[in-house]
């Protein structure tokens, strides 16, 4: 397999095509979801040029970070954050995608080291209002955003969502459109807001068409998890 045929190259080509079609060439980033993948697999993808990696579990991520400390990687926590993991999350990650309740904000700010840049924060939204899904309700975004913005050790960057996996693509597109409207409202209120994390392996091109600036892809890069 030559470099042009790798899954990474294929995904990057599709992202670029979708961004071009949406009139935003170069405006969409790739977050490689490395949950369940080995440090060796991450290292191989980094050698191809990928720098941003997303992990669901703090302890799993810390072990990988230790083994890959020689690489200039950016680490995103994309799994639900428990209160007792705020200290590790604040100290060892560059981004948090799953801020969904006010009680997490103060400890994240308190534990963020002074010698590191502010922790980039996305508010996770339960856009389809599923009882079993993590994320705040759309009406709670404003209060959480204001609380994050008051913390100098945190940096509000935008919104994240995992819409319900409706089989009908139109229903997913509707959820994407609602998220983009919320994102537009937030970036009007806060100058630093620039990131809408939306779209995964099965639907990232539709998410880009709807305005996503960062897609989270695992299966299309690494293959199905064992």
In this structure, how many other beta carbons lie within 10 angstroms of the beta carbon of residue 76?
A: 26
pLDDT tens per residue across span 53-87: 999 999 999 999 999 999 999 999 999 999 999 99
Rounded to whole angstroms, what are the CA distances from 218 to 5, 82, 106, 119, 186?
A: 17, 23, 31, 23, 28
> Which residue reads 């996503």 in tokens?
212
pLDDT tens per residue across span 43-58: 999 999 999 999 999 9
pLDDT tens per residue across span 104-151: 999 999 999 999 999 999 999 999 887 677 899 999 999 999 999 999
DSSP 164: -
Q: How far is CA 88 from the centre of its chain?
A: 18
- pLDDT category at 226 given cuts 50, 70, 90 is low
Does the pTM surpass 0.85? The reply is: yes
Mean residue pLDDT of the chain comes to 94
- pLDDT category at 225 given cuts 50, 70, 90 is low
Q: Cα–Cα distance between 176 and 171 in angstroms, integer?
A: 9
Q: Please, is 53 exposed, middle or buried when counting C-beta atoms within 10 Å of its C-beta (0-12, 13-18, 19+)?
A: buried
């Amino acid at each position: 397999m030559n470099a042009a045929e790798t899954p990474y190259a294929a995904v990057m080509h599709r992202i670029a095509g979708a961004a071009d079609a949406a009139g935003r060439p170069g405006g969409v980033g790739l977050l490689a979801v490395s949950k369940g993948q080995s440090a060796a697999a991450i290292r191989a993808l980094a050698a191809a040029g990928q720098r941003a990696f997303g992990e669901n579990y703090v302890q799993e991520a810390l072990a990988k970070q230790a083994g890959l400390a020689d690489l200039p990687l950016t680490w995103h926590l994309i799994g639900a954050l428990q209160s007792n993991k705020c200290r590790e999350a604040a100290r060892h990650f560059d981004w948090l995608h799953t801020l969904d309740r006010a009680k997490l904000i103060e400890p994240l700010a308190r534990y963020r080291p002074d010698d590191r840049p502010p922790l980039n924060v996305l508010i996770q939204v339960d856009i389809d209002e599923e009882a079993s899904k993590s994320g705040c309700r759309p009406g709670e975004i404003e209060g959480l955003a204001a609380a994050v913005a008051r913390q100098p050790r945190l940096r509000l960057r935008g919104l994240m969502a995992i819409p319900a996996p409706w089989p009908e693509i139109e229903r997913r597109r509707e959820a994407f459109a609602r998220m983009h409207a919320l994102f537009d409202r937030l970036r009007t209120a806060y100058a630093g807001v620039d990131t809408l994390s939306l779209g995964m392996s099965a639907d990232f091109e539709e998410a880009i068409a709807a305005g996503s600036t960062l897609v989270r892809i695992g299966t299309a890069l690494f293959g199905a998890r064992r």
